[in-house]
Structure 1
């Protein structure tokens, strides 16, 4: 009996030891000021916390990075009325958020997916950032999945793949003009995210304001707003769980 158990364990060992957890790179903004309003901004807490909790619970390894590295700012508005996932994320990742890796110092080799977390700060430092564009492009060409939520979708604008826009003809979503107007920041943000996506060739769609809405187009996964964060993560996991 003992010999049989040993043989079975020996047969199972290579399968378990060969399994490598999916690797996900989560990118946060380094922008702490809301334009010239004198108000603070940053990344939106739940947009990082919900995907982080869901993916790590499934077994993924998630690395936090930011545009500049070091401490990444959290939008103070997102610290109000925190749910359990947000509280847990802050408690477990506090030190990591104070000392994030700079995106420029990270290679996409070995990663299965990248997530661009939103928050209004991204409207200033995601679009046109060469380190971010290069890593999105590299991961895409490596066959990885690209996910973004809310204003984080700004990091996909102007990304080129072999000389053509990544977003050309792609179905996606992102924070809408109607949502921006509803929170009275249309005149504060440097551009309209929805309009920029359409101008880049994207097939943009949206759900009802401030309700979960996710669009999947191949390896591109986008969520419209903070309420879409967990649904985006679930769609992403379906793609990377067997890699």
Structure 2
């Protein structure tokens, strides 16, 4: 029995609607707040150096497990700050906790969530070489840089609060004028850093990072360290925006009173965080 013309028309209309929604989805998400554009001040920081620090953990797993869903840094949390710094004529290096190839969450390249800077990265052989051969954190000195930016992603929940990272943050804080920045889980780089009296370096500082609500939104069953909880435990004054129904579309960037730590809530905060770091650097020169 042949399908009626009416049924064919309905099917064609539904198919057309699905295609239209698929094409429009990236624009809808962007309009609602994903990877917002940043039209702020531009900078010329020739002669200055920046470092992007990423996770080395590439699997969502539980203790004792060696396999699981691939993860790593969320691409835009390393591509956006990198190109913001590079376009300001800064020299930009890349380090990861263990060094070598940086694991990138494959989901961050999905067409409806990727940022323009992700596409730029995929066509940039120089940057790709840096990501394939990143410096190990143990091999770099944060004091050699003017800006040090810690990216997030689910991988950072496993290793970004490494004791070596914490020690290097404390050392650079006390022995240089470096400005630190982070987005999302990158804030874990600060939660174990200690002050000269053995207390938490971030105590009393206004900071942000990914919220518990966002973790629940994505249905993540297990990651060992959560920025909102760890920042609060370390005594930071935790701030976050939750105005939008879809938590991953919220964004907030804050800076502490001393202007040494600039932190962004999630991947949507990358541009604003990078630019506020550069603005602060120019003000302190």
User: How high is the TM-score relative to the length of structure 1?
Assistant: 0.87
**Residues 52, 89 of structure 1: 8 Å contact kept:** no
Distance 1:54 1:79 in 2: 19
CA shift at 1:193, angstroms? Answer: 2.3
Which 5+ residue runs of structure 2 have no aligned equivalent? 1-44
Q: Number of paired residues? A: 223
Which residue is 2:55 aligned to?
29
Which residue is 1:214 aligned to?
253
CA shift at 1:89, angstroms? Answer: 2.1
Does 1:136 find its partner at 2:162? no
Counterparts of 1:176-187 in structure 2, within 5 Å, are 176-185=211-220, 187=221
Distance 2:177 2:143 in 1: 11
Which residue is 2:4 aligned to?
none
Root mean square deviation, CA, Å: 1.5
Which residue is 2:84 aligned to?
54
Q: Which of the numbers 159, 162, 169 marks the counterpart of 1:125?
A: 159
User: How high is the TM-score relative to the length of structure 2?
Assistant: 0.75
Distance 1:79 1:48 in 2: 13
Does 1:170 find its partner at 2:200? no
Q: Which of the numbers 7, 17, 42 marks the counterpart of 2:72?
A: 42
Does 1:94 find its partner at 2:135? no
**Residues 142, 178 of structure 2: 8 Å contact kept:** no
CA shift at 1:196, angstroms? Answer: 1.3
CA shift digits 1:83-142 (9 cap, x unpaired): 321111233211111111111111223311211100110111111x12211221122111
Which protein shows a greater Rg?
2
Distance 2:142 2:218 in 1: 35
SS of equivalent residue, structure 1 residue 24: strand
The answer to which of 86-95 and 72-81 deviates more is 86-95
The answer to which of 135-144 and 38-47 deviates more is 135-144
**Residues 22, 241 of structure 1: 8 Å contact kept:** no
Distance 1:24 1:58 in 2: 11
**Residues 43, 74 of structure 1: 8 Å contact kept:** yes
CA shift at 1:20, angstroms? Answer: 5.3
